[in-house]
A and B are shown apart, each in its own frame.
Chain A
């Protein structure tokens, strides 16, 4: 009880003391919070994105089969569907038709895809929400694409893809098979690639092996590889952001070190006074601990909480330019709040602990001086 009472008195003192230099201390806390905010935002965002992609892409096909010609991805003949024969464990196989179309009017790349089960007419398309936003069009409007031979084809927009699925569908244009072939000049009898569904995930590597044996000019892409790719790519993006932040962090470290460790003559004198009026070395150190703790704890919480709001309630809008890069179409999405406890603990440790230590260490020297120093 007396310990708590004593700590409260020490907090009283350090707050009074810090309030004397309001500007400096609030400025420090602001910069500190900002750093935590940036780090926490990157952390939460990449973690949530990884998590989300991991969950979503579970629904993607187990195997995508591409045909390679001269080391490049090429159309795969329909006959390959029969050529591969019956493979045990494959529950479904179908050819996909898709491609990219560059739209010079908004300088955006669309992903055009044939959707058989949407029952589209040859002059109808379903588009992703980001395209509708970029072009300012609504269902019922017409959109014109230039075909491979310079012809212009107009399509009526039948509907938009569900806004909630934007993270995977922002730039999609779904169209009829006939329209696709006319637009790209792709003849009958070929697909872009073939997708296979496998019910038992453990059979996938065996099936992939068989596919390569039977169809030596193809490359199977497994779902596990896709998931790994995204795990890696987001770690990589996170790494880039951390590197960019490193400069800011270094500057802050220097500033904080200087602020925390540089004892002014005035501060030394004050510690002398405190010792002479009966404070022990441990009292002074506890008091200094609280100085570090007040700044770093509050900054951590402020930074983290704002990062949480930023990432999960403001769609990580500050990162949009980074992720967007040169792209024109960008999905609007709200990530599922998801936090990695270990990451948060690491962030806490690396932001709070060093600052508290940097505050206490230099005081040690002064705090162990003789209490009669003020009388000399």
Chain B
């Protein structure tokens, strides 16, 4: 498959948009502070009540569409998260371990893995197909594959959104995730050679190693947050690199991405 990257949104510790990410890659000092996003796409009253997971995903989704200069409302979406809304999982399990077991109906309906997709479709009046996916630590490469397949098979642009937040409480000891990180890529299989990346599923003799970002801050992010496994690709785009990059998908299969022009130059 061949895919073009039309727009990028990103949010993480000290990273508030694509320009900031590019500046970091170019050598600007990193401001390590985490600040929760307040996406303009969600109406102010809803925004205050929206969970962090939703705000993070919707923020980067909106950024990617703005960055691409595209109207979001008919764009198909693939949302991915390794663990989903772990703050709500912790709340549900704590409450159910107690005496009353009375759950908040709002927090319950926000507990679904597709809650960010639901908020996004409502706030962008978007009735296009939407999938919410997971593949544990391999959630980014699996979702990238799914988004590229959708764009290719359905001949339409697809917005890919990956996000993971800290796992609180005792669950975090068993399945730890570092600081929150979200990224969105507007992908389009309708692309010229100059802008295209090839995307292939490649059987390997052994499980492929993770790609390591060159920037030490980004390498640490990628190591500790499954959604930030996308950073190796973002860093390549920011630095005008062409890969090839490879991520493990499952067992002994990898997802490989390389810029078409870079392949020609090899």
Specify whether A and B are partners: no
- Chain A residues in contact with chain B, CB under 8 A? none
